[in-house]
A and B are shown apart, each in its own frame.
Chain A
Amino acid sequence: MSWRLTLKIHRWQPGDRAPYYDHFTVEVPEEAYVLDAIEKVWAEQDRSLAFRHACHHASCGSCGLRVNGREKLPCITPVTDYPNGSTIQIDPLRHFPLVRDLVVDMGPFSQAMEAVRFSIIRHASEGVPDARSSEPPILPEEDHEATRFENCLECGLCVSACPIAGSALNYLGPAALAAAERMLVEPRGVDPLAVWEAIDHDDGLWRCHGAFECSAACPSEVDPAAAIMRLRRYGPKVGQVARQQRR
């Protein structure tokens, strides 16, 4: 069975005074995802439509946008989440510089992730080969636990959903704060004091007002709000210890 949706898509290009919406009706198989519908619009109806996508399975985090106002990764959002024959509104992420149509600039977001020195490969705890050491074993031992990518896809959905990111321009944002917590738990050779100092200020850890939208939006089990609250509880102590160690 096929699924018919009308996509009301946000359009804007540099030089336009104001954004506007275009409507496109597409029919896709009912197993398809919203990203497939957008790609079909581009392939068959409007080649000028610009949107981000790469992996199509919620690993790269590039396709983030809003469907009917809610932050989604369209690559894992089934079209059947919306009634057959309905119109869905597709907007770019909020609180990011807009490049064109649905494309946003990940620069400021990536800067925040860099500021907390986020490393996407999880370190290994004891007994586990460290993917970043110079000579990891070519064949891991039997009892070794898997090294893993961090859950955070750096997709930016949480920043778009955060009401504070909407009003405080310099706020680090939920992704970077959650990343900082990971780096304090597993420093992976990074100086914990540097991580703590990157978040211990008015536009960092203490700017969050606990709306919990980030955790509601996260497609990848990160739960940034909980990470922020843990940081508030334990972070100052970690910072203090790190400061003493440096002396």
Chain B
Amino acid sequence: MPNADKGRVPAERSRRVSRWFDPRGIAPGQLAFVLHRITGLGLVFYLYLHLAVLSLLARGPEAWDRFIDLAKTTPILILDVVLIFGLLFHALNGLRLTLVSLNMGVRRQTALFWGAALVTVVLTAVAGWMIFRM
């Protein structure tokens, strides 16, 4: 019989897609995998947002100017930095995936990931500095 009767704890059922984001002890390869999916979803979201914003042009100059004023506020500028981060990571990791799928640098895929992450962070920092300096 079970000792230490701490009660029977219900176990989580394995959900399929949620498994992608299961953070328990994952290796760098999967960290890249998860970030790639999150940034990919973010970019899709941004694409629709972008189309919605562009549709303001059809409503005349006032609507557009109001949007431009909004776009210059700090919260939106922060989101711009997030967007740049996502875009850079997705693009650079996409290059990494292309390379390894062509059987190039497979042994160095972890280093390629950290490289992509480093370049992403540096370029995002530069972009952020430029955005907030303006």
Q: Do chains A and B touch in the complex (CB under 8 A)?
A: yes
Measured CB to CB, the residues of A under 8 A from B are 6, 8, 10-12, 18-25, 45-46, 68-70, 91, 94-95, 163, 166-167, 209-213, 215-216, 225-226, 229-230, 232-234
The reply to whether B30 and A213 contact each other, CB–CB distance below 8 Å, is yes
The reply to whether A19 and B25 contact each other, CB–CB distance below 8 Å, is no
* Known contacts A211-B32, A226-B107; A233 and B102 CB within 8 A of each other: yes
Q: Indicate if B65 sits at the interface (CB-CB under 8 A).
A: no
Task: For A45, list chain B residues within 8 Å (CB).
Answer: 1-3
Closest partner residue, chain B, to A234 (CB atom): B103
19 A-B residue contacts at CB 8 Å?
A6-B4, A20-B8, A20-B11, A45-B3, A46-B1, A69-B25, A95-B14, A163-B19, A163-B30, A166-B17, A166-B19, A166-B20, A167-B20, A210-B97, A210-B100, A210-B109, A211-B30, A212-B30, A234-B103
A230, B104: Cα distance in complex, Å: 9
The reply to whether B29 and A212 contact each other, CB–CB distance below 8 Å, is yes
- Chain B 50-71 interface mask (CB, 8 Å, partner A; 1/0): 0000000000000000000000
Task: For B13, list chain A residues within 8 Å (CB).
Answer: 18-19
Distance (whole angstroms) from the CB of A175 to the closest CB of chain B: 17
Task: For B97, list chain A residues within 8 Å (CB).
Answer: 209-210
Contact of A24 among B4, B8, B101 (CB under 8 A): B4
A21, B28: Cα distance in complex, Å: 29
The reply to whether A212 and B103 contact each other, CB–CB distance below 8 Å, is no
A237, B4: Cα distance in complex, Å: 60
Distance (whole angstroms) from the CB of B79 to the closest CB of chain A: 27
* Known contacts A45-B3, A212-B109; A94 and B17 CB within 8 A of each other: no
Q: Indicate if B24 sits at the interface (CB-CB under 8 A).
A: yes
The reply to whether A232 and B103 contact each other, CB–CB distance below 8 Å, is yes
The reply to whether A21 and B8 contact each other, CB–CB distance below 8 Å, is yes
The reply to whether B107 and A12 contact each other, CB–CB distance below 8 Å, is no
Closest partner residue, chain A, to B113 (CB atom): A212
Closest partner residue, chain A, to B9 (CB atom): A21
A113, B26: Cα distance in complex, Å: 26
Contact of B14 among A23, A25, A94, A209 (CB under 8 A): A94
Contact of A25 among B3, B102, B103 (CB under 8 A): B3
A167, B18: Cα distance in complex, Å: 9
Task: For A25, list chain B residues within 8 Å (CB).
Answer: 3-4
Q: Indicate if B106 sits at the interface (CB-CB under 8 A).
A: yes
Closest 9 CB pairs of A and B: A212-B29, A69-B24, A233-B103, A211-B33, A19-B11, A216-B27, A166-B19, A20-B8, A22-B2
